[in-house]
Structure 1
Amino acid sequence: MFVKLRFSSGYEVKTSPLIMRFGDDGGPVDPPEPVFVETGQEWHMPWRNGESIESATTQRWTSLAEQRDFTHAWQTTEAVGQQIQCAWLNGEPIGKHYQLAFSSSHPLTGTDFTWRYASLLPSEQAAWHMRWRTKSPLSGTDFTWRWKAGPLTGIDATMEWWQSPHEVGQSVLMHWGPYPWQWICYWVAHPFPGAVKLRFDEQSQTHTGAISMRFDEPQKVCYWGLPGGDQRGWDDVPTNEIKVPIIAPVARSYLMQPTFTCVRVRDEMQIMLSSFTHQQSRGQFAAVVNLKFMSRIDQERAINELLRIELNGYEFYAWAESPSKQISFNNYQYSASGRSRVAELASPNKAPANYSNQTVQTIAGIMSGLLSDGWTLDSQVIDFPVPARAFNIMNKAPAEALNEAAERIGAMVLCDDSLKKVRIVPRWPVMPWDTASATCDVVLNEGVIISHSAREIRQPDFNVAFVRGEQEGVSCRVKRRETLGDRYAPEIVDSLITDIQAARQRGSAVLADSGKKEESTIKTKIMPQLPPLQRGQLIGIQYAQHLYKATCDTVTVSAAVDKQGRITINQTAGLVKNV
């Protein structure tokens, strides 16, 4: 048995080939609203006599494609083409161009639309309201597309126009805020896509095993910075090189009322101290602290506690770690030694561990990963990438590993105990051969200096150094400028020398440490106009005839209370300079 199908007329398409479906079989569901993220806006509008003569708009979106393709299908048997061009002058649209192309005997049709002006899409991040002084601005456009079986029959366009409106102004609303920094990674020497060609020059022979094909893994470099897009970076903004030094005032007499207090940070309990010493040098990550207590009760309350000591309004933080006592006839002394606040990241508070980077990271990212317990990093050295497994430190606590990493790149560690911030700065912020033209950080005068002593140290004077890395490092020759480069320092080999910036910083520190030096010791006060000195600062002493400049190497702050209750607060700084 057979079924015969007869067709008496030609087949015609009765419906549109475009089918839009929303939801599922359970019922209609509204499609989700698109999320537009605006990444950049640029507007340039010059005016002449109140009328707009030029308008340029550049708009980019991250959630919208830069190109839009429309595909329509018609059942046609012959090629159909249509082109519309419209142009107006005197305030009306300058140009509008439509191109419609149909492919003969093929169901697909390409459509290309080009507008001279693009309208801003709705966005939750930006709202634009614009009104123009034109004779016939476009207030609304309605396009209706109609088709039926066979070729496209027509396009209906409905346009409404205003009649000579007045300019009422322009209102722009933009939302912005600080953008968070993040890790930005890119590939270095990434291979281009292609094919692997296998060529056989001999006949096949029986072999055991398999043929191994090895391909080098592309190198990936990451750095910590602002993401890309239409926004200014941090490296193209000119820096402010103006430095205002702290100048101690010159006076006939200095009237001071010293203050010396100590509290336990945990509950603000008062701890009575008879003396306090805070000492630190450029090679130390934590200061060494010595405390003497008024009584045994004060010692018991302070041991293994974080203390805040205030001297003339300036705060110091210290951990009382190792208690001691001295008892003699009618004399009891209770004391303790400890370190500054960053000691909570050092041994024995943190267990020693091994550290290594398993992926490509920058040196700032590696050092930031060593911090914990609310401590943050402020790196002021030039950052550089470190290849995978090039950073290796064995059996160190986090603070000790951070200090070692800083020394290996020619830097040192400074800590802000109140903000729990670690700063990585060059060991020589100002090179010793540049101090003559540099601006001092602090300028003292003879009136505030209690004593000043100096001595000379003779050591080899180098003007060139070879610095190189290991397996994945670089080899550089660092020479002091305006020298012959004929006195070589011992060669420096370190796995962290993976970039020329690392070699420059390490080599510069080695050359700055060499040569004949003059070490000075000055003793001065702590006043509202003279804060505690910091390591690495360029200190100036203004004498009658000249300004003495030297780099601060060590700082010791001391406070004591005698039996009559008189308080004495001093600070002693060790300075070093080239001679």
Structure 2
Amino acid sequence: TATPLAAPHAHMLPLPVGWWQATYPWPEPPPGVQYSSPVQLVFCRAADGTTRLVFGCPPATGGTVVIPIQECYVVINSFSLVRADTGEPVDVQDFSASLDADSWCWGWSASLPAASMPLVRSPAIGDHVELVATLNGTPLHLVVERLARDRRFGEAWLKVSGRGRAAWLADPHAPVATRYNATARTARQLLDDALMVNGVSIGWDLDWRVTDWLVPAGSWSHTGTYMDAATRIAEAAGAYVQAHDTDQTLIILPRYPVAPWHWPTQTPDIDLPEDVCEVEGIEWQDKPAYNAVWIAGGEAGRRDRIRRAGTAADRNAQTIVDPLATDPAMTLQRGTAALGDTGRQAHITLRLPVLPETGIIRPGKLVRYTESGTARIGISRAVQIEQRFPELWQSIRLETHEHEPV
């Protein structure tokens, strides 16, 4: 069947190659007009097994994104950098960005012609310019925090850098405040409260992906910025914070959604062959093979022993003391995170294109990587993007485990 395609007529431009997401800054359609989205131009495998060039074939939702073994992978890269407020384009010589499980937002840097200074530096002291970098259709909202100029004979360049827009919630942009709970609140409610001033929201939402738990009155006391409060509560749950790429949303993710010893039975998010990776590096680490840990709270807290099922639970990790250990849901999550980061591990670094099928592979994705017939499954912990026209690469780091049989 034919799939109708549409593009905003006001732009008089062809659709960009790759995905056209709803977040792309197209204008609102006229009354009665609806734009088709998403749109992709790719080779797609049909139900009868043939491969053909089709228009408007989106990837399957859910399941595993499988990258096939091919002699050649063709990716047409696209990159742009514009001001978030005016849409003015900014010339870029090179661009890089990185994100990992221990960093709550993107860090980035770029080299620009010195003539671009008015576009990236606010004339008002204390104000910072926001930019939007779009990499193969994926937008990132970024804050300019540092500028440096390098002038040589006949040329001058700016080195600009900063963080994602969640930088507004952290030092030095956010105020330091003292917080406590006079009444019983859930952990999520504590974080919702921390993102308020005098009971009014500062405009940031939560995408809460861990099990919530009740915190009795007087168990929560904290001094710091908004982001300090978010990372502290996430740490208690054995989780970490990731800011949304474009929206004012903080995502709370479990460090181990599934215990590593169960990964072989899980369906991975992405299946990568060695053929699509340009560079591979492996670092082996041997950590103590703990199989039990005590989680202890304060006066109103608990004292729970979390152990790996099916083991003798005879190798105890160091006791974790946390005032927020007030509920079995919390101690189980925190204990799973502690026991997950044990035993023999292989940290694999892969350099590959930003493919339409995978996009940017962010921390938290379960990835299966097959090398010389051996499949390893692990969770992505970091990604680094490097752009220098016409090339665009991503380097991801996977945490894989070699667990002893139980």
Q: TM-score, normalised on structure 2? A: 0.78
Q: 1:376 aligns with which of 205, 220, 233?
A: 205
Q: How much does 1:544 deviate? A: 5.4
C-alpha root-mean-square deviation of aligned residues, in Å?
Answer: 1.6
Matched, 1:572 2:395: yes
Counterpart residue number, 2:92? 273
Q: What residue is the counterpart of 1:480 in the other structure?
A: 308
| Residue matched to 1:523 | 351
Structure 2 matches for 1:7-18, cutoff 5 A?
Answer: none
Structure 1 residues 34-58: Cα deviation after superposition (integer angstroms, max 9, x where no partner): xxxxxxxxxxxxxxxxxxxxxxxxx
1:201 counterpart residue number:
none
Cα distance, 1:296 vs. partner?
1.9
- From 116, 137, 159, the equivalent of 1:298 is 116
Task: For 1:514 and 1:548, locate their aligned partners in 2 and report how far apart those are by CA, in whole Å.
Answer: 17
Cα deviation for residue 349 of structure 1 reads: 1.6
1:354 to 178, 200, 225: 178
State which drifts further: 465-474 or 352-361. Answer: 352-361
Q: Which moved more, 1:336-345 or 1:539-548?
A: 539-548
How far off is 1:410 after superposition? 0.3
The reply to whether residue 260 of structure 1 matches residue 79 of structure 2 is: yes
| One-letter identity of the residue aligned with 1:404 | R
Q: Would you say how many aligned residue pairs link Structure 1 and Structure 2?
A: 331
Q: Does 1:511 align with 2:335?
A: no
The answer on whether the counterparts of 1:387 and 1:498 sit within 8 Å (CA) in structure 2 is yes
More helix by proportion, 1 or 2? Answer: 2
| Residue type of the alignment partner of 1:557 | I
Supply the AA of the counterpart residue of 1:460: P
What is the alpha-carbon distance in structure 2 between the residues aligned to residue 494 and residue 400 of structure 1?
16
Deviations 1:498-553 (A, max 9, x none): 10111111111111112221111000100212210111111111345232211111
Aligned equivalents of 1:420, 1:444: Cα separation in 2:
31
Q: Which has the larger radius of gyration?
A: 1
- 1:495 and 1:509 map into 2 onto residues whose CA distance is 17
Cα distance in 1 between the residues matched to 2:118 and 2:162: 14
**1:496 equivalent among 324, 329, 340:** 324
User: Given that residues 304 and 331 in structure 2 are in contact (C-alpha distance below 8 angstroms), is that contact kept between their aligned partners in structure 1?
Assistant: yes
Aligned to 1:77: none
Q: 1:22 matched to which residue of 2? A: none
8 Å Cα contact 1:458-1:515 kept in structure 2: yes
> Hey, what's the Cα distance between the residues in 2 that align with 1:424 and 1:461?
27
Return the offset for 1:389: 1.9
Partner of 2:57: none
Q: Describe the shift of the 1:323–1:407 C-alpha distance in structure 2 as closer, same or farther (beyond 3 A).
A: same
1:22-421 correspondence to structure 2 within 5 Å: 243-293=62-112, 295-303=113-121, 304-371=128-195, 372-394=201-223, 396-421=224-249
- Find the residue that maps to 1:412 and give its secondary structure: strand
| Aligned-partner residue type, residue 267 of structure 1 | T
The answer to whether the 8 A contact 2:111-2:159 is kept is: yes
Spell out, residue by residue over 1:163-222, the C-alpha distance to the aligned partner (whole angstroms, 9 max, x if none). xxxxxxxxxxxxxxxxxxxxxxxxxxxxxxxxxxxxxxxxxxxxxxxxxxxxxxxxxxxx
The amino acid of 1:313's aligned partner reads G
Partner of 1:199: none
User: How far, CA to CA, are the matches of 1:418 and 1:250 in structure 2?
Assistant: 33
- Measure how far apart 1:253 and its partner are: 2.0
Structure of greater relative contact order (alpha carbons < 8 Å, 6+ residues apart) = 2
Secondary structure of 1:576's partner?
A: strand
Q: Secondary structure at the match of 1:253?
A: coil
Give the deviation of 1:243 after TM superposition. Answer: 4.7
Question: Structure 2 matches for 1:458-469, cutoff 5 A?
Answer: 458-469=286-297
Task: Tell whether the 8 Å contact from 1:266 to 1:306 is kept in structure 2 after alignment.
Answer: yes
Q: Which residue of 1 aligns with 2:378?
A: 550
Q: Any stretches of 5+ residues in structure 1 without a counterpart? A: 1-241, 562-566
Q: Distance in 2 between matches of 1:414 and 1:549?
A: 22
Letter in 2 for 1:392: S
Contact kept in structure 2, 1:285 and 1:400, CA below 8 Å: no
What displacement does 1:335 show? 0.9
Question: Is residue 519–residue 575 contact of structure 1 (8 Å, CA) maintained in 2?
Answer: yes
Residue 574 of structure 1 deviates from its aligned partner by 0.9
Q: Deviations over 1:424-464 (max 9, x none)?
A: 12111222111111110111122311111102112212110
Match of 1:69 in 2: none
Cα distance, 1:299 vs. partner?
Answer: 3.2
Measure the CA separation in 1 of the matches of 2:86 and 2:194: 29
2:365 to 513, 517, 537: 537
Kept in 2, the 8 Å contact 1:249–1:529? The answer is no
TM-score by length of 1: 0.55
Q: Contact 1:243 / 1:439 at 8 angstroms: preserved in 2?
A: no
Indicate conservation of the 8 Å contact 1:342/1:417, yes or no: no
How far the C-alpha of 1:331 sits from its partner, in A, is 4.2
Q: Which amino acid is 2:84 matched to?
A: V
User: Secondary structure of 1:366's match?
Assistant: helix
Matched-pair contact (CA < 8 Å) for 1:280–1:288: yes
